[in-house]
Amino acid sequence: MTVGSAVPVPATHLDVARDAEPATRKANEAMAAGLAFGDMRDFEAAQRGLIAPVPDGVVQSQNGTVLWNLGEYAFIDGELAPATVNPSLWRMARLNLANGLFKVTERVYQLRGFDIANMTVLEGDGGLILIDPLTTAEVARAALALYFAHRPKRPVVAVIYTHSHVDHYGGVRGVIDEADVKAGKVEVIAPAGFMEAISGENVLAGLPMMRRAQFQFGHLLPRGPRGQVDAGLGKAIARGTPGLIAPTRTIERPVEDHTIAGLNIVFQLAPETEAPAEMHMFYPELGVLNMAENACPLLHNFIPLRGAVARDPRIWAKYIGDAIEMYAPHADVLIGQHHWPTWGRAAILDHLEAQRDLYKHIHDQTLRLMNKGWRPAEIAEAIDLPPGLAERWSARGYYGTVSHNVKAVYQRYLSWYDGNPCNLHTLPPVPAARKFVEYMGGPAAVLARARRDFARGEFRWVAQVMKEVVYADPDNREARALCADALEQMGYQAESATWRNAFLYGAQELRHGPVRMPPRGLAADTLAGLSTDIFFDMLAIRLDPVKAAGRSTTVNWHFTDRSEQLVLTLGHCTLTHRLGARSETAAASVTTTRTTLDAIVLGRLKVPEALETGALRIDGDTTQVAALFAMLDPPSAMMFDILTPGEGRS
């Protein structure tokens, strides 16, 4: 039976990954014919300076668990892309297989292909400076071990976080000891706002972001020509143990000049660009400009699919422009914390100017059409990159896309609302889906029409319509199968690694359902690094208003290890707090340490145990404190439904 026929699909079809449809083959062949695949300069740059590859392509934990395995990508073994992979994305997937220890220039080395990001090593006079120690301790430790296998073993005297995403700081405990930081032997440097940015993305909205990141990165997809082939910025995100050591120094002024381990480093803050807290660096004696993650050889995200605050491409372009003026005339090498370097001043200038114009063009053209009254989806379909950018490999949408970046610009300026009052108060997805399907003649009629459209290659429309049938009737196996098939073909055509992963993982969940995982709380390092202000905001978003109905109280908190106090107030089913205050009429006063409260929130310590040992002391009505904790939701299960309505949302 051919997919797309009007014959009912057998139930077993739901579990089958399909081949590329004729329309997908045609689309990918057109892509292959339209770009300069004979240009091999990026392949030469990606291999330049290789000293040694990742040993066996594998990183394991102490108990033998495989945390990183480049062997999973052995199927990426030639220039010709299979029909199930966009040929442009296949090219990037091949480039992102470059791995190991690389010499960039004298005293500058990079460890690539251990994780989605790079770790950069600067050889200072007084020791090593490590920049962005990857995502987890295990891979960072393995990367540094490879460096030491080929370079003198010298002490690490500084770690620099270029920005506030976990793949750029999470592995820090694999390369330095916190005791050395506290003793002043190792400095940890980050841009202004670093800890606040981590709190927002990883704490308050951390759980739904982790769930959505499964679609962006394809963690749970099989590796292969019909599965995950790449993540755009690199192969994938390494597994293992993420951690955090708080900065001992933050860069506060727009430009700061410091000497670290005998090396002069010029820091340029670039906030609200690729991350809320980010910075570039120039190393004058080395002739190296490090643009962190703001000038990768691809189109980046203005909002990633995992979710984030909308980034500002206008100011992003401005900071690239400032770097061009201040540093490009003096730079011989351009590096970033993903991908490969660029050598030569002319090439550096060309790349940075193209990146600057790429972000500014999408911003400006979106605003131009917004001012004509166009809607987000209309603008996303209308805007193409201009000649000079469209054909550049370094402007291709392997990670971000013009389409969803346009919508991010619209959201930043005009919000989610497109201005049409018909869209202001629509029905929720499930009742709306049921009405749509009813109006369209019922599920059987919709499926029959959708199969004909699938056969014509109208996969976007089929997915859009089948989504309604699935939400109206989540148990309709034929609708789930056809929706999965449509998403799969869209994935096979996608040039963006993140779009491919999202489409293919959506198809996988429709066929097999979400993988059920236990609730996942915050990492202890992240929790300990939170300001007390953000900590209590985190507790407030867990308050169940049903359990809090009719209750009101005030509790004083005193944290002896931080010399902090605050007043916590419950009223109107809402928790609020005032840092640095104390109430004389509080129902109870709690004296403890943040370390103790962290342990209670992590489930490592029970309140009665803390009271018994004296780690927690409550003066006043002890029942008020116990009642507050009882009103909090338990940690949520991360694997909430996305492709189907989920429980309690009918």
pLDDT score at 13: 45
233-277 pLDDT, tens digit per residue, is 999 999 999 999 999 999 999 999 999 999 999 999 999 999 999
Q: What is the 3-state secondary structure (H, E, C) of 561-582?
A: CCCEEEEEEEECCEEEEEECCC
Confidence of residue 524 (pLDDT cuts 50, 70, 90): confident
pLDDT tens column, 451-471? 999 999 999 999 999 999 999
Going from the C-alpha of 58 to that of each of 120, 138, 432, the distances in angstroms are 20, 11, 48
What are the pLDDT digits (tens) for 487-499? 999 999 999 999 9
Domain ranges of the chain: 11-20+426-512, 35-409, 524-630
CATH superfamily of 524-630: SCP2 sterol-binding domain (3.30.1050.10)
Q: Is the pLDDT of residue 367 over 80?
A: yes
Q: With residue 279 as reference, give the H or E element that holds it.
A: strand 279-283
Indicate whether 6 pLDDT > 70. no
Q: How confident is the model at residue 541 (pLDDT cuts 50, 70, 90)?
A: confident
The whole-number average pLDDT for the span 415-420 is 93
For residue range 291-337, list pLDDT tens digits in order. 999 999 999 999 999 999 999 999 999 999 999 999 999 999 999 99
Sign of CA dihedral 213, 217, 222, 225: positive
pLDDT digits (tens, 9 = 90+) for 543-577: 999 999 999 999 999 999 999 999 999 999 999 99
Task: In the chain, count H helices and then E strands.
Answer: 22, 21
Structure tokens at 356: 């600057």
DSSP assignments along 161-174, one per residue: --BSSGGGTTTGGG
pLDDT value of position 2: 25
| CA 452 – CA 140 distance, rounded (Å) | 51
User: Band of the pLDDT at 515, cuts 50, 70, 90?
Assistant: confident
Q: How confident is the model at residue 4 (pLDDT cuts 50, 70, 90)?
A: very low
Compute the distance between CA of residue 418 and CA of residue 378 in angstroms, rounded to an integer: 11
Tokens of 3: 């997919």
Predicted local confidence at residue 527, as pLDDT: 83
| The amino acid at 370 | M
CATH class of the domain comprising 35-409: alpha beta
Q: What pLDDT does residue 384 have?
A: 94
Q: What is the pLDDT of residues 72-129, one digit of tens each?
A: 999 999 999 999 999 999 999 999 999 999 999 999 999 999 999 999 999 999 899 9
Looking at the predicted structure, is the pLDDT value of residue 522 above 80?
no
Residue 179 has pLDDT above 50, yes or no: yes
Exposed, middle or buried: residue 165 (CB in 10 Å: 0-12, 13-18, 19+)? Answer: buried
Confidence band, pLDDT 50/70/90 cuts, at residue 3: very low
User: What is the per-residue pLDDT for 509?
Assistant: 95
Residue 501 confidence class, pLDDT cut points 50, 70, 90: very high
CATH superfamily of the 11-20+426-512 domain: Alkyl sulfatase, dimerisation domain (1.25.40.880)
Q: What is the largest CA-CA distance in the chain?
A: 77
- Contacts (Cβ under 8 Å, ≥6 apart) of 502: 215, 216, 218, 305, 491
Q: What is the pLDDT of residues 144-173, one digit of tens each?
A: 999 999 999 999 999 999 999 999 999 999
Give the SS3 label for residue 181: helix
359 token code pair? 């972000």
Is the pLDDT confidence value at 1 over 50?
Answer: no
Q: What is the DSSP string of 60-107?
A: E-TT--EEEEGGGGTT--SSSPPTTS-HHHHHHHHHTT--EEEEEETT
Q: Using pLDDT thresholds of 50, 70 and 90, give the confidence band for residue 639.
A: confident
Instruction: Give pLDDT tens digits for 190-199.
Output: 999 999 998 8
Choose between 147 and 209: higher pLDDT.
147
Whole-angstrom distance, CA of residue 59 vs CA of residue 67: 6
Asked whether 551 and 574 are in contact (CB, 8 A), the reply is no
Single-letter residue type at 92 = M
- Over range 223-230, report the average pLDDT: 97
Examine the pLDDT at 530 and tell me if it is beyond 90: no
Of the ranges 276-285, 514-523, 526-535, the best mean pLDDT one? 276-285
Q: How confident is the model at residue 427 (pLDDT cuts 50, 70, 90)?
A: very high
Judged against a pLDDT cut of 70, whether residue 603 lies above it is answered with yes
In Å, what is the CA distance from 40 to each residue of 37, 95, 343, 528?
8, 10, 15, 47
Percentage of residues in the chain with pLDDT exceeding 70? 96
For residue 88, how many other CB atoms are within 10 A of its CB?
22
- Using an 8 Å Cβ cutoff, are 135 and 167 in contact? yes
